[in-house]
Amino acid sequence: MAPTPVWRRTPRFGGAWRLGVAALLFAVAACSGAVSPDRGDARPGQAAIASPHPLATRAGQEVLEAGGNAFDAAVAVSAALAVVEPFGSGIGGGGFFLLHRAEDGHQVMVDARETAPGEATRDMYLDDDGQPIPRLSQDGALAAGIPGLPAALVHISERYGRLPLADVLAPAIRHAEDGFEAYERMILGLRFKEDLMRESDAVSAVFFPEGRMPEPGDLIRQTDLAQTLRTLARDGHDGFYRGPLAETLVEGVRAKGGIWSLEDFAEYRVIERAPDVIEYGDARIVAASLPSSGGVVLSIVLNILDGFDLDALSEPERHHLVIEAMRRGYRDRALYLGDPDFTDIPHARLTHPLYAAGLRAAIRRDRAMPSDLLPGIAAGDESPQTTHYSVIDADGNRVATTQTLNFWYGAGVMAPGTGVMLNNEMDDFSTKPGVPDGFDLVTAEANAIAPGKRMLSSMTPTFVESPRGVAILGTPGGSRIITMVLLGTLAFLDGRDADEIVAMRRYHHQYLPDRVSHERGAFSEEIATALEAKGHELAESGRDFGNLQLVMWEYNGNRVSAASDPRNESGDAQVY
Ligand code: DON
């Protein structure tokens, strides 16, 4: 795999310079056959999909070939992943969909995050002494929020797609009905969660056929899930959120100690939100906004970095500054962020360049700042659950989606008769302010549990728009998602190609715990020594970070490329 790249900061051109550069690019484009976003007619002319599973990529392709656009393809890929990657996301989970419509440049984030059930209470995972009850927010029906993914599939299909929902869901229904072949990654997750999953007959019947752990190539059939998807295809939003299916889901969850209600289902809506837009050098980064923390954290980090001349620095110095910027971005995540519909979030302040300038001024070039010396919270690895895909169509419509059940196979339980695995997203709330969640992330009051509220997320589907072209990217990886997207963004702006960007070695700092976790080979010995000399604690992780899916449209030569993270044996990126 490629080592961590050294990137150059793209220059910040203002006013006349920017116009001059745009004119120059236009002139070069006109002579060289390159396209320019400034010419209204620019279109990639090719489509591309990068997803973590070939059946999902093919589902999208099938829909494109049937005359669908990127939004139809996205719905097909999402639904197929919910079937063939049942450990990572599902109809019982949620996600964020970042859309770009080419004809008018409309950009929107469809927030399909789960909500806390109406009977949820702030201290529901604490014992009488006020201490968190181990695993209660992660295992079993009480850990599940109200699903958002079905609502998003219907919403995106109806508002942005061209084809009927039933056509777009057809590949997923087929894979659920006919089965897909078990593979290493899904079996790994089953081993991890086996004890809990075997407690449920409905789960066992699907994932432990004939009562045994499946082997690669064994067929996993999900006939109940196929039926649930058919109901969604036929009856749309209400088919899932009202009527017999909702009743079966709610009854099943309550029988297992959960607190879902029919009112929660009737009230569930996706929310269309403006994405966060960050100006960095001559690039524009469009990223998931609250209740994903991705856009705000990226904004703080990039605004800090924008004030440094990274080009002029040595490699260790650059990494040092990136780590210090990550630290501060995650500190603010911990302190301030949560569902903006429930808490006043100082969004304008946190994303203001002058706020970042203040943070930048307090960064020492020679020393790491220990996290506990930053005003903040006094107080914590991930595996490849959750999932991401990226799509562009020949007209330039784009989708970046990250969707999840949270941990491996979510809460490990199913509502019997529905095939719907429950998420364990409630763990992303602050079960007790200052107590780390399953990703060792600490959050505060802003992310306390309340009925109907959406839990803070790190999922960061992102578009990077620069004179080079457009990158559509994202990854699973819990708390590390944002720093992986950051490193991928910087590498794209540095001119790296798609294969290099998905392969490069990654590192991460999240404020608490105060250490730089990294993949093997992320830093040379010399760089590691230099970083340690500045006071950074480096912790090599035994695991791979993430599963990045990237589609790129470069204006020079009007070239579309796609790459799937080599850390995942089943990734499938295609250009059509
Ligand atoms: O929303 C979040 O930030 C988490 N529930 C995402 C979980 C995740 O990425 C797990 N994969 N490694």
Helix axes 525-533, 315-336, angle to 10 degrees: 60
Looking at residue 24, its pLDDT comes to 40
Residues whose CB is less than 8 angstroms from the CB of residue 271 and which lie 6 or more positions away in sequence, other chains included: 110, 111, 341
Looking at residue 19, its pLDDT comes to 36
Look at 110 and 443; give whichever has higher pLDDT. Answer: 110
Mutate which of 138, 406, 437 for ligand 1? The one with the most ligand atoms within 8 Å of its CB, which is 406
Lowest average pLDDT, out of 122-131, 322-331, 409-418, 430-439, goes to 430-439
Give the separation between CA 470 and CA 493, rounded to whole angstroms.
10
**Is residue 35 within a helix (H) or strand (E), and if so which, with residue range?**
none
Ligand 1 atom index nearest CA of 476:
9
Q: 479 C-alpha to center of ligand 1: Å?
A: 7
Ligand 1 atom index nearest CA of 407:
10
Looking at residue 23, its pLDDT comes to 39
Give the separation between CA 426 and CA 457, rounded to whole angstroms.
11
Q: What's the average model confidence in pLDDT over 266-274?
A: 98
Lowest average pLDDT, out of 219-233, 267-281, 423-437, 556-570, goes to 423-437
By C-alpha distance, which of 539, 521, 482, 508 is closest to 322? Answer: 508
Residues whose CB is less than 8 angstroms from the CB of residue 317 and which lie 6 or more positions away in sequence, other chains included: 365
Q: Is 190 in the pocket of ligand 1 (CB under 6 A)?
A: no
Q: Is 459 in the pocket of ligand 1 (CB under 6 A)?
A: yes
What does DSSP say about strands 538-540 and 516-518: parallel, antiparallel, or unpaired?
parallel
Mutate which of 109, 404, 440 for ligand 1? The one with the most ligand atoms within 8 Å of its CB, which is 404
pLDDT band at 138 (very low <50, low <70, confident <90, very high): very high
Q: What's the average model confidence in pLDDT over 140-152?
A: 98
Ligand 1 atom index nearest CA of 480:
9
Looking at residue 18, its pLDDT comes to 36
Mutate which of 96, 431, 439 for ligand 1? The one with the most ligand atoms within 8 Å of its CB, which is 439
pLDDT in tens, 378-407: 543 445 579 999 999 999 999 999 999 999
Amino acid at 486: L
Work out the number of other CB atoms within 10 angstroms of the CB of residue 131.
11
Looking at residue 436, its pLDDT comes to 84
The catalytic residue among 57, 228, 386, 483 is 386
Q: Is 437 in the pocket of ligand 1 (CB under 6 A)?
A: no
Q: 129 C-alpha to center of ligand 1: Å?
A: 29
Q: What's the average model confidence in pLDDT over 87-101?
A: 98
pLDDT band at 527 (very low <50, low <70, confident <90, very high): very high
Q: Where are the beta strands (DSSP E) in 393-495?
A: 398-404, 414-415, 420-421, 462-466, 469-474
Give the separation between CA 86 and CA 74, rounded to whole angstroms.
17
Nearest Cα residue to atom 12 of ligand 1: 477
By C-alpha distance, which of 341, 317, 386 is closest to 527? Answer: 317
Domain residues of the chain, as ranges? Answer: 48-272+386-432, 276-382+459-575
Note the helical H segments in 346-480: 347-350, 353-361
Q: Is 410 in the pocket of ligand 1 (CB under 6 A)?
A: no
pLDDT at residue 65 tops 50: yes
Residues whose CB is less than 8 angstroms from the CB of residue 62 and which lie 6 or more positions away in sequence, other chains included: 76, 171
Looking at residue 116, its pLDDT comes to 98
pLDDT in tens, 160-196: 999 999 999 999 999 999 999 999 999 999 999 999 9
pLDDT at residue 11 tops 80: no
Looking at residue 383, its pLDDT comes to 52
What does DSSP say about strands 469-474 and 398-404: parallel, antiparallel, or unpaired?
unpaired
Q: Is 222 in the pocket of ligand 1 (CB under 6 A)?
A: no
Residue 350, classified by CB atoms within 10 Å of its CB into exposed (0-12), middle (13-18) or buried (19+), is: buried
pLDDT at residue 246 tops 60: yes
Q: What's the average model confidence in pLDDT over 358-375?
A: 94
Looking at residue 526, its pLDDT comes to 98
Nearest Cα residue to atom 2 of ligand 1: 457
pLDDT in tens, 494-513: 999 999 999 999 999 999 99
Q: Is 297 in the pocket of ligand 1 (CB under 6 A)?
A: no
Q: DSSP states of 77-138 as a string?
A: HHHHHHHH-TTT--TTSEEEEEEE-TTT--EEEEEE--B--TT--TTTTB-TTSPBPTTTTT
pLDDT at residue 441 tops 90: no
pLDDT at residue 514 tops 70: yes
Give the separation between CA 57 and CA 265, rounded to whole angstroms.
30
Q: 160 C-alpha to center of ligand 1: Å?
A: 26
Q: Is 404 in the pocket of ligand 1 (CB under 6 A)?
A: yes
Nearest Cα residue to atom 9 of ligand 1: 478
Nearest Cα residue to atom 1 of ligand 1: 457
Looking at residue 438, its pLDDT comes to 81
Enter the CATH code of domain 276-382+459-575: 3.60.20.40
Give the separation between CA 542 and CA 565, rounded to whole angstroms.
17
Q: What's the average model confidence in pLDDT over 441-465?
A: 95
Q: What's the average model confidence in pLDDT over 212-238?
A: 98
Lowest average pLDDT, out of 48-57, 140-149, 440-449, goes to 440-449
In the annotation, is 387 catalytic?
Answer: no
Give the separation between CA 275 and CA 240, rounded to whole angstroms.
27
